[in-house]
C-alpha cells in the first residue's frame, strides 16, 4: 500500500471561493493509503512546493496527489518537486479542481462534492502508480522552416545565427512572401523592399541556410528531435544551378498573356518568368499551365536563347528526404476572396480593388510604375473610398468573425500616402471602429486625420453601384450624424479580411498540430507558450497562428527561433515514459497491436519460455520500442488477450478512477 | 461539511477526454468560466483510442448514468489515427449497449478541439440534460458494487 499525501491548493480565491478546500482536505484523509492531507494558499509557490517536499520526507510518502489547476499547467512543477524530495516524479497525480471544477460551478456545495470525488479518483489512481523512468532520444541538430515569408526568413536567420543548419521550404518560386508585394510599411513608412530584400539575400548567402523554393512538404514522420520530412521539389523546368537569372528567356518567351500574380493579376507576365527583380533564388520558372512547349511540344524559344543551357523541359518533380530536430510553421496568410460580397461590386468593376491591389498600384515595381491610376481607364482618380472590415468581424457567414488586425493601419497608410502624393484627391475611409494599438500606431492614424485631412466616417458601405459614366456610386450611412451618404467615387478600395493560407490545413494534419475553427494554428498556451504548438517540436511563426502586423511577426519569428535553438542545443531529449508495454506471458503474438500502431513501434520476436511442465517453448511475442512509442494506447484496446497496457494510464488505473467517480 | 438534502435526480456522468484536444477544450471552458453541471467528472486519457470498452462497461456496472467520450476532430488526432479507432469501436459498443438496454442517449462520442471551450460546455450541458431526462441507469448497474 502506498503512503499518499494530499495537497489541496486554494489558488488564492480561484479555487477557494467556490470549493471548500478544508472540507476537501478533510474528506480525503479517510481514503485508503492517505497518511497526510492538507491545504495551502498557493501550492505552486516556493513555499507550497516546500510543503510538499517536507511532507514527503517527514511522512515517508510514496505517492502525492495535488488538487489544484489543470495538469497541463503545473504537472511538471509538482513532479519536479517530488523528484527533488527523492520520490519518482511519476508518483504524482493532479486532481483538476480549478479549470474543471471551481471555475465552472457557482454552487459551493456541488463544487466541493465534485472536488472531493476528483480527489478520490486521483488517490485511487496514485495507489496503482509505478515509478517510471524516462528514456532518452538523440536530437537531430537541424531545423525546418515551412514558409519563406518575413516570418520564416527571420526565424531561419536567427537559428542559423546560433550555428544550426536550417532549411526553408517555400512553395512559390521565390522567398519573401506577402511583404514583397507591399509598398511602404506602417508606421514609419519605410519601403518594404528596402528592409526585406537584404534579409532575403542574407538567407541565400548564409552557409547554414538552404532554400527549397518552389517546393512543398509532402510528408512528415517522427517526433520531436527526430522528424523525417519528405520535401517535394516541383519541376520548374529550369536547372537552378545553371540559371544565372539574366532574364533573356523572360523577354523572348512568346506567351505574353499570363496574369502576373505578383501584381495581383493587374498586368501580364510570360510563361517563363522571374517573379520580381530581387527574387531569391533569382532563377526562372516555367509555368507549365501556359508554356507552349510543355503543353503541345511546339516552341522551345527559351531554350534557344538561354546561354547556359539551363532550360530542361523534361524535369520532373523530385522528392528529397531530410531529417530535422524541430519544425517551424510560417505558412502565412492570404486576403479572402471577395466574390461573395456582391454589394461592393468587386467582380463587376475593375475600379473596385483590394488593398493589396492598391499596394501594387502605388509601388514603383507595380503595373503602373507607382503612379496611382484607375485600372479601367488609366486616369487619375479624384475621389477614393476606402472600406474597412470587408469580411472581418463579419457574423453574417460570408466573411470571418475575427478582426484582421492590420487593416486599420494599412488603410490609414494608404489614405495618408494618397493625400501626400495627390493633394487634390478626396479620400474617404468608412470604418466600424478604428483599432490602432501599437507603438506609434495611434499617432500615425491621427496624422492621417488631422494633418492629411482624410475623411474618416463611422459606418459601413451598403452598396457600390458602377455607373455608365465610369464612376462608382457609393451608398453608405454615417452613423455619427445618422445620415445617408452618396459619394461619387472613382476608385473603391476594399480592406479584405486575411485568412490562413489554404495549405495550412493539410500541413496541420501531417504535423498533427492542432488548429482552431478558423484554421489558425493553436499555440500550446495562449499567453505563456505562444510560439509553440501543443505538439512537441513544432513551433509557430507569424500569421499562421493569428493575424499580425510585421513588427509582431518578426518578434514572434525570433521567439520561435529562440525556442528552436533551445531545443537543438540539447544533445538528448527525455522521452515520455508513459508508453505501451506488453506482458509477454499473456501475449499470443497475434499482431493485432502492430496493425493499429501509427508509429510502427511494435515488433515481434521469438522468445524462449519455461513452461509449467519444465519444458521450454519458443513463442512469438510483441515488444514495444520505447523510443518510438508515443503512448496513444491504441494497441492496449486492440489486444484481445489484454497483454498490452499503457504505463501511467494503465487499465487498472483508469478502472480505479471510474470506480471512484461512480461510487 | 453540511450535506444538502435534495430529492432532485443528479446523474453520474463519466467523461473520457483525450489529453490533446478535449481535455484542453475542457480547460478552456474553465478559463472562460463557461458553466456546466458538476455531475460531469472528467478522466484524462492520452487519446480517445485509449478508452477500452471495458472502462465504459465498468462505469455502467458501477452505476454511471451516462458516459461521454471526447476526442480530437477526425483528421486532427495528435496520434494521427487514434480517433478513427474510437469512432469504429464506439459505434459497435454503443449499439451493443443499446441492445442490452442502455439507451443510445446515455452514450456519446463528441469531437471537441482544444479551441472549442464553448462547444465543450454546450455539449456537457446538453448531455447532462439528456441523461437527466432518462433517469437512473438500472439496466447494467450491479447492486453488489453499490457503496454501503
Burial class (CB in 10 A: 0-12, 13-18, 19+), A656: buried
CA distance B142 to A254: 83
Q: Is residue A350 part of a domain?
A: yes
Q: Domain B13-139 belongs to what architecture?
A: 3-Layer(aba) Sandwich (3.40)
Which uninterrupted H or E stretch holds B97? helix B82-99
pLDDT of A164 strictly over 70: yes
Domain boundary among A536, A568, A600: A568
- What is the ipTM metric for this complex? 0.95
Contact partners, residue B140, CB within 8 Å, separation at least 6: B57, B60, B61, B97, B100, B101, B102
Question: Do strands A258-259 and A268-269 pair parallel, antiparallel, or not at all (unpaired)?
Answer: antiparallel
CA distance B132 to B124: 12
Q: How far is A39 from chain B (nearest CA, A)?
A: 16
Do A646 and B50 make contact, defined as CB atoms within 8 angstroms? yes
Within 8 A of A663 by CB-CB distance, chain B residues are 62, 147
Domain map (residue ranges) of chain B: 13-139
A520-526 own/partner pairs: CB under 8 Å, 24+ apart: A520/A544, A520/A545, A520/A546, A521/A329, A521/A545, A522/B113, A522/B114, A522/B115
A562 and A605 share one domain: no
Within 8 A of B51 by CB-CB distance, chain A residues are 637
Contact B50, A632 (CB under 8 A): yes
CA distance A305 to A249: 6
- Angle (CA) B110 B115 B120, round 5°: 40
By Cβ distance, the residue of B50, B80, B81 closest to A636 is B50
Q: What is the pLDDT of residues B50-64, one digit of tens each?
A: 999 999 999 999 999
Beta strands in A156-305 (DSSP E): 165-169, 184-185, 190-191, 209-212, 215-223, 226-233, 258-259, 268-269, 272-273, 285-286
Q: Is residue A556 part of a domain?
A: yes
Q: How far is CA A657 from CA B3, B27, B38, in A?
A: 23, 19, 17
Q: What is the pLDDT of residues B67-120, one digit of tens each?
A: 999 999 987 888 888 999 999 999 999 999 999 999 999 999 999 998 899 999
CA distance A291 to A294: 5
By Cβ distance, the residue of A20, A99, A598 closest to B30 is A99
Q: How far is B41 from chain A (nearest CA, A)?
A: 7
CA distance A268 to A68: 62
CATH of the domain at A428: 3.50.50.60
Tally of structural domains, chain A: 5
Q: What is the pLDDT of residues A258-278, one digit of tens each?
A: 999 999 999 999 999 999 999
Closest CA to A522 of B25, B89, B127: B25
Q: What is the pLDDT of residues A462-519, one digit of tens each?
A: 999 999 999 999 999 999 999 999 999 999 999 999 999 999 999 998 988 888 889 9
A279 and A322 share one domain: no
A197 and A324 share one domain: yes
| Closest residue on chain B to A516 (Cα) | B115
Q: What is the mean pLDDT of chain B?
A: 91
Size of interface A-B (CB pairs under 8 A): 164
A146 and A217 share one domain: yes
- Helical H segments across A290-332, by residue range: 292-296, 301-305
Residue with cell 477544450: B25
Q: Is residue A663 part of a domain?
A: no
A634 and A505 share one domain: no
Within 8 A of A598 by CB-CB distance, chain B residues are 79-82
Contact A409, A445 (CB under 8 A): yes
Cα A469 → chain centroid: 47
Within 8 A of B38 by CB-CB distance, chain A residues are 101, 105, 107, 110-111, 113-114
Phi-psi region of A119 (alpha: psi -120 to 50; beta: other; left: phi over 0): alpha
By Cβ distance, the residue of A70, A104, A109 closest to B36 is A104
% of chain A surpassing 90 pLDDT: 89
pLDDT of amino acid A4: 96
Do A100 and B47 make contact, defined as CB atoms within 8 angstroms? no
| Closest residue on chain B to A101 (Cα) | B38
Closest CA to A115 of A133, A102, A127, A134: A102
Give the per-residue SS3 of chain B: CCCCCCCCCCCCEEEEEECCCHHHHHHHHHHCCCCCCCCEEEEEECCHHHCCHHHHHHHHHCCCCEEEEEECCCCCCCCCCHHHHHHHHHHHHHHHHHHCCCCHHHEEEEECCCCCHHHHHHHHHHHHHHHHHHCCCCCCCCHHHCCC
Report the pLDDT averaged over residues B130-144. 90
- Angle (CA) A181 A390 A433, round 5°: 105
Contact partners, residue A67, CB within 8 Å, separation at least 6: A6, A7, A8, A9, A21, A24, A28, A94, A95, A97, A115, A118, A119, A122
Question: All 3 cell numbers of residue A321?
Answer: 528526404
A324 and A391 share one domain: no
Q: What are phi and psi of A319, to 5 degrees?
A: -110, 125
What range defines the domain where residue A411 resides?
334-499
Pick among A514, A521, A529 to test the B interface (most B CBs inside 10 A): A514
CA distance A429 to A382: 14
Report the pLDDT averaged over residues A370-382. 94
A466 and A508 share one domain: no
The confidence band for B6, taking pLDDT boundaries of 50, 70 and 90, is low
A154 and A215 share one domain: yes
Q: How far is B129 from chain A (nearest CA, A)?
A: 16
- Cβ neighbours around B126 below 10 Å, total: 13
Which uninterrupted H or E stretch holds A108? helix A108-127
Do B43 and A662 make contact, defined as CB atoms within 8 angstroms? no
Give the 3-state secondary structure of residue A225.
coil
Q: How far is A352 from chain B (nearest CA, A)?
A: 36
Give the 3-state secondary structure of residue A607.
strand
By Cβ distance, the residue of B45, B64, B78 closest to A662 is B64
Task: Give the bridge partners for A210, in sequence order.
Answer: A167
Rounded to a whole number of angstroms, the CA Rg of chain B reads 15
Cα A403 → chain centroid: 18
Q: Is residue A654 part of a domain?
A: no
CA distance A628 to A361: 53
Q: Is residue A552 part of a domain?
A: yes
In the DSSP assignment, the letter for residue A417 is: H
Report the pLDDT averaged over residues A156-168. 97
CATH of the domain at A107: 3.40.50
In the DSSP assignment, the letter for residue A262 is: G
Q: How far is B48 from chain A (nearest CA, A)?
A: 8
By Cβ distance, the residue of A27, A100, A631 closest to B26 is A100
Closest CA to A600 of A577, A624, A583: A624
Within 8 A of A578 by CB-CB distance, chain B residues are 46
Residue with cell 473610398: A385
A24 and A116 share one domain: yes
Closest CA to A271 of A304, A294, A242: A294
- Angle (CA) B13 B18 B22, round 5°: 75
CA distance A404 to A370: 26
CA distance A448 to B106: 61
Count Cβ neighbours within 10 Å for each residue of A244-282 and write b for 16 or more, e otherwise: eebeebbeebebeebebebbbebeebbbbbbbbebbbbb
Contact A508, A540 (CB under 8 A): no
Q: How far is CA A278 from CA A145, A189, A207, A283, A559, in A?
A: 21, 20, 20, 10, 27
CA distance A61 to A4: 6
By Cβ distance, the residue of A70, A121, A630 closest to B27 is A70
Beta strands in A461-520 (DSSP E): 461-466, 472-478, 483-489, 491-496, 498-500
Q: How far is CA A511 from CA A148, A360, A499, A520, A578, in A?
A: 18, 35, 20, 14, 21
Contact A532, A363 (CB under 8 A): no
Worst-scoring range by mean pLDDT, A158-162, A624-628, B143-147? B143-147
Q: Is residue A562 part of a domain?
A: yes
Q: What is the pLDDT of residues A145-157, one digit of tens each?
A: 999 999 999 999 9
Q: Is residue A224 part of a domain?
A: yes
pLDDT of A44 strictly over 70: yes
CA distance B75 to B58: 29
Domain boundary among A127, A161, A185: A127
Within 8 A of B89 by CB-CB distance, chain A residues are 637
pLDDT of amino acid A527: 83
Question: Do strands A285-286 and A272-273 pair parallel, antiparallel, or not at all (unpaired)?
Answer: antiparallel
Give the 3-state secondary structure of residue A381.
coil
A464 and A517 share one domain: no
Q: What is the pLDDT of residues A574-617, one digit of tens each?
A: 888 999 999 999 999 999 999 998 888 898 999 998 888 889 98
Worst-scoring range by mean pLDDT, A187-201, A228-242, A286-300, A602-616? A602-616
Q: Is residue A661 part of a domain?
A: no
pLDDT of amino acid A534: 82
| Closest residue on chain A to B53 (Cα) | A637
By Cβ distance, the residue of A516, A522, A636 closest to B52 is A636
pLDDT of A446 strictly over 80: yes
Contact A29, A119 (CB under 8 A): no
Q: How far is A649 from chain B (nearest CA, A)?
A: 7
Do A662 and B4 make contact, defined as CB atoms within 8 angstroms? no
Within 8 A of B1 by CB-CB distance, chain A residues are 20, 23, 26-27, 112
Q: What are phi and psi of A321, to 5 degrees?
A: -110, 130
A123 and A271 share one domain: no
pLDDT of amino acid B100: 92
A348 and A468 share one domain: yes
Contact A272, A291 (CB under 8 A): yes
pLDDT of amino acid A444: 96
The confidence band for A53, taking pLDDT boundaries of 50, 70 and 90, is very high
Report the pLDDT averaged over residues A628-634. 90
Within 8 A of A72 by CB-CB distance, chain B residues are 23-24, 27
Closest CA to A580 of A509, A646, A519, A494: A646
Amino acid at each position: 500500500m502506498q503512503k499518499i499525501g494530499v495537497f489541496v491548493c486554494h489558488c488564492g480565491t480561484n479555487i477557494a471561493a467556490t470549493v471548500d478546500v478544508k472540507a476537501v482536505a478533510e474528506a480525503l484523509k479517510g481514503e485508503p493509503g492517505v497518511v497526510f492531507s492538507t491545504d495551502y494558499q498557493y501550492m505552486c509557490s516556493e513555499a507550497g512546493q516546500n510543503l510538499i517536499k517536507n511532507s514527503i520526507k517527514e511522512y515517508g510518502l510514496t505517492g502525492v496527489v495535488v488538487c489544484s489547476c489543470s495538469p497541463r499547467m503545473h504537472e511538471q512543477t509538482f513532479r519536479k518537486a517530488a523528484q527533488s524530495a527523492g520520490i519518482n516524479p511519476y508518483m504524482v497525480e493532479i486532481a483538476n479542481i480549478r479549470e474543471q471544477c471551481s471555475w465552472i460551478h457557482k454552487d459551493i456545495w456541488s463544487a466541493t462534492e465534485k472536488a472531493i470525488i476528483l480527489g478520490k479518483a486521483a488517490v485511487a489512481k496514485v495507489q496503482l502508480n509505478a515509478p517510471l523512468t524516462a528514456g532518452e532520444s538523440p536530437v537531430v541538430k537541424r531545423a525546418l522552416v515551412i514558409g519563406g515569408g518575413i516570418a520564416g526568413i527571420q526565424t531561419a536567420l536567427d537559428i542559423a545565427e546560433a550555428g544550426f543548419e536550417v532549411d526553408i521550404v517555400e512553395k512559390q518560386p521565390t522567398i519573401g512572401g506577402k511583404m514583397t508585394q507591399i509598398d511602404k510599411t506602417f508606421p514609419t513608412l519605410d519601403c518594404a523592399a528596402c528592409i526585406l530584400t537584404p534579409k532575403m539575400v542574407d538567407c541565400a548567402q548564409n552557409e547554414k541556410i538552404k532554400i527549397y523554393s518552389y517546393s512543398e512538404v509532402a510528408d512528415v514522420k517522427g517526433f520531436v528531435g527526430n522528424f523525417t520530412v519528405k520535401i517535394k521539389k516541383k519541376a520548374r523546368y529550369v536547372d537552378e544551378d545553371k540559371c544565372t537569372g539574366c532574364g533573356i528567356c523572360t523577354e523572348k518567351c512568346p506567351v505574353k498573356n499570363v496574369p502576373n500574380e505578383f501584381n495581383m493579376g493587374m498586368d501580364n507576365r510570360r510563361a517563363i518568368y522571374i517573379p520580381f527583380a530581387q527574387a531569391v533564388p533569382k532563377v526562372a520558372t516555367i509555368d507549365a499551365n501556359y508554356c507552349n512547349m510543355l503543353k503541345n511540344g511546339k516552341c522551345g524559344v527559351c531554350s534557344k536563347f538561354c546561354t547556359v543551357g539551363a532550360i530542361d523541359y523534361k524535369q520532373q518533380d523530385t522528392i528529397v528526404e531530410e531529417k530535422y530536430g524541430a519544425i517551424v510553421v510560417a505558412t502565412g496568410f492570404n486576403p479572402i476572396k471577395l466574390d461573395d460580397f456582391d454589394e461592393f461590386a468587386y467582380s463587376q468593376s475593375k475600379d473596385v480593388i483590394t488593398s493589396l491591389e492598391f499596394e501594387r498600384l502605388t509601388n514603383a515595381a507595380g503595373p503602373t510604375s507607382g503612379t496611382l491610376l484607375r485600372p479601367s481607364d488609366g486616369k487619375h482618380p479624384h475621389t477614393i473610398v476606402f472600406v474597412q472590415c470587408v469580411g472581418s468581424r463579419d457574423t453574417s457567414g460570408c466573411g470571418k468573425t475575427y478582426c484582421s488586425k492590420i487593416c486599420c493601419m494599412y488603410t490609414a497608410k494608404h489614405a495618408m500616402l494618397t493625400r501626400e502624393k495627390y493633394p487634390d484627391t478626396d479620400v474617404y475611409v468608412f470604418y466600424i471602429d478604428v483599432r490602432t494599438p501599437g507603438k506609434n500606431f495611434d499617432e500615425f492614424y491621427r496624422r492621417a486625420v488631422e494633418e492629411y485631412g482624410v475623411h474618416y466616417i463611422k459606418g459601413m458601405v451598403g452598396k457600390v453601384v458602377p455607373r455608365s459614366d465610369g464612376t462608382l456610386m457609393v451608398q453608405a450611412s454615417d452613423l455619427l450624424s445618422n445620415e445617408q451618404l452618396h459619394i461619387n467615387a472613382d476608385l473603391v478600395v476594399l480592406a479584405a479580411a486575411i485568412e490562413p493560407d489554404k495549405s495550412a490545413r493539410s500541413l496541420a494534419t501531417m504535423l498533427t498540430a492542432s488548429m482552431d475553427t478558423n484554421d489558425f494554428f493553436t499555440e500550446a498556451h495562449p499567453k505563456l507558450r505562444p510560439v509553440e504548438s501543443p505538439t512537441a517540436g513544432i513551433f509557430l511563426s507569424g500569421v499562421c497562428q493569428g493575424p499580425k502586423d510585421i513588427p509582431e511577426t518578426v518578434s514572434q519569428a525570433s521567439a520561435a527561433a529562440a525556442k528552436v535553438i533551445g531545443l537543438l542545443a540539447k544533445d538528448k531529449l527525455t522521452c515520455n515514459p508513459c508508453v505501451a508495454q506488453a506482458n509477454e506471458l499473456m501475449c499470443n503474438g497475434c499482431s493485432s497491436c502492430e496493425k493499429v500502431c501509427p508509429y510502427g513501434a511494435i515488433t515481434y520476436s521469438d522468445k524462449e519460455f519455461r513452461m509449467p511442465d519444465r519444458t521450454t517453448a519458443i513463442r512469438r511475442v510483441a515488444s514495444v520500442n520505447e523510443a518510438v512509442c508515443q503512448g496513444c494506447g491504441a494497441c492496449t484496446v486492440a489486444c484481445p488477450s489484454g497483454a498490452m497496457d499503457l504505463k501511467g494510464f494503465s487499465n487498472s488505473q483508469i478502472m480505479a478512477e471510474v470506480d471512484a467517480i461512480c461510487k | 461539511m453540511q450535506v444538502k438534502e435534495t430529492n432532485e435526480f443528479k446523474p453520474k456522468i463519466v467523461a473520457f477526454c483525450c489529453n490533446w484536444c478535449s481535455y484542453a477544450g475542457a480547460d478552456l471552458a474553465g478559463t472562460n468560466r463557461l458553466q456546466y453541471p458538476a455531475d460531469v467528472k472528467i478522466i484524462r486519457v492520452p487519446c480517445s483510442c485509449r478508452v477500452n470498452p471495458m472502462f465504459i462497461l465498468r462505469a455502467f456496472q458501477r452505476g454511471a448514468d451516462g458516459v461521454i467520450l471526447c476526442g480530437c476532430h477526425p483528421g486532427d488526432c495528435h496520434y494521427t489515427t487514434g480517433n478513427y479507432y474510437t469512432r469504429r469501436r464506439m459505434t459497435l459498443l454503443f449499439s451493443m449497449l443499446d441492445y442490452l438496454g442502455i439507451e443510445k442517449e446515455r452514450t456519446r462520442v463528441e469531437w471537441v478541439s482544444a479551441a472549442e471551450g464553448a462547444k465543450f460546455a454546450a455539449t456537457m450541458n446538453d448531455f447532462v440534460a439528456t441523461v437527466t431526462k432518462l433517469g437512473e441507469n438500472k439496466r447494467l448497474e450491479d447492486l453488489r458494487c453499490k457503496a454501503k
